Amino acid sequence: MCPINNGNERIQSNKSSMLSREEIKAIEFWISQMGEYHFFTTTEQRIVPAKNILKFKYKMIGHGYNRIVYDLNNGYILKIALSEIGLIGNANEAYLYNNCNEEVQKYICPVKEFGSGWIIMKKMDTNVSHEIMEYAKLIELELIFLSYGIIPIDLRLANVAISEDNEMVAIDYGLFTMDLKSPVLQWMFDDGSTKDQ
């Protein structure tokens, strides 16, 4: 199993206690081919080649423009990058979870393992209603993150779940920033040569 983060979020081992060597090789191959699909503009155009290359037995349970999510059927989910922003999001979630204040960890989805192009996180109940009370909880969650020095970029109801303790928890925090070492900030202030198309 690879360490979540050892202070250098760009270095990961591609060993896993949950994924087979063949699955890791499939992810590595997809990541090596991912750039060929940068001109695809729709989410579906990015997902189809990824699914065809990965050929995973797992059920795809979600996706965005930058990542695809599989249910590992063991209480965990697997997020795989579809773009460079997806790579940064995975690295950032691992970095933030491993380096944030212990008190704030209960408000973010736990990270189990992290490798190049992938991250394994706890599966959580994503059935969050869109009632006014949920929006109030969302604002409260934003204030909690801000009080701990975390800027919760892209915090919205679609990116939260409810924990066993009935707490609202961010499940997609790949764009949150915490400090100058954040992979998101490093990417944003890069010279632009490696940014997603």
Q: Which domains does the chain have, with CATH numbers?
A: 21-188 (3.30.200.20)
CA-closest candidate to residue 26, choices 118, 120, 112, 94? 118
Task: Return all residues near 181 (Cβ < 8 A) that are at least 6 apart.
Answer: 9, 95, 99
Question: What pLDDT, on the 0 to 100 scale, is given for residue 187?
Answer: 66
Query: How confident is the prediction along the chain (197 residues), in pLDDT tens digits per residue?
Result: 333 443 433 345 578 899 999 999 999 999 999 888 777 667 788 899 999 999 999 999 999 889 999 999 999 999 999 998 999 999 999 999 999 999 999 999 999 999 999 999 999 988 777 777 788 999 999 999 999 999 999 999 999 998 888 889 999 999 899 876 666 666 666 645 444 44
In the chain, the largest separation of any two C-alpha atoms, in whole Å, equals 46
Q: State the Cα–Cα distance between residues 118 and 58, nearest whole angstrom.
A: 14
Question: What pLDDT, on the 0 to 100 scale, is given for residue 13?
Answer: 59
- Model pTM score: 0.83
Question: What pLDDT, on the 0 to 100 scale, is given for residue 46?
Answer: 83
Question: What pLDDT, on the 0 to 100 scale, is given for residue 134?
Answer: 84
Q: State the Cα–Cα distance between residues 151 and 36, nearest whole angstrom.
A: 32
Alpha helices in 55-170 (DSSP H): 84-99, 132-147
Does residue 138 contact residue 156 with C-beta atoms inside 8 Å? Answer: yes
Q: Is 109 exposed, middle or buried (0-12, 13-18, 19+ CB in 10 A)?
A: buried
Question: What pLDDT, on the 0 to 100 scale, is given for residue 163?
Answer: 87
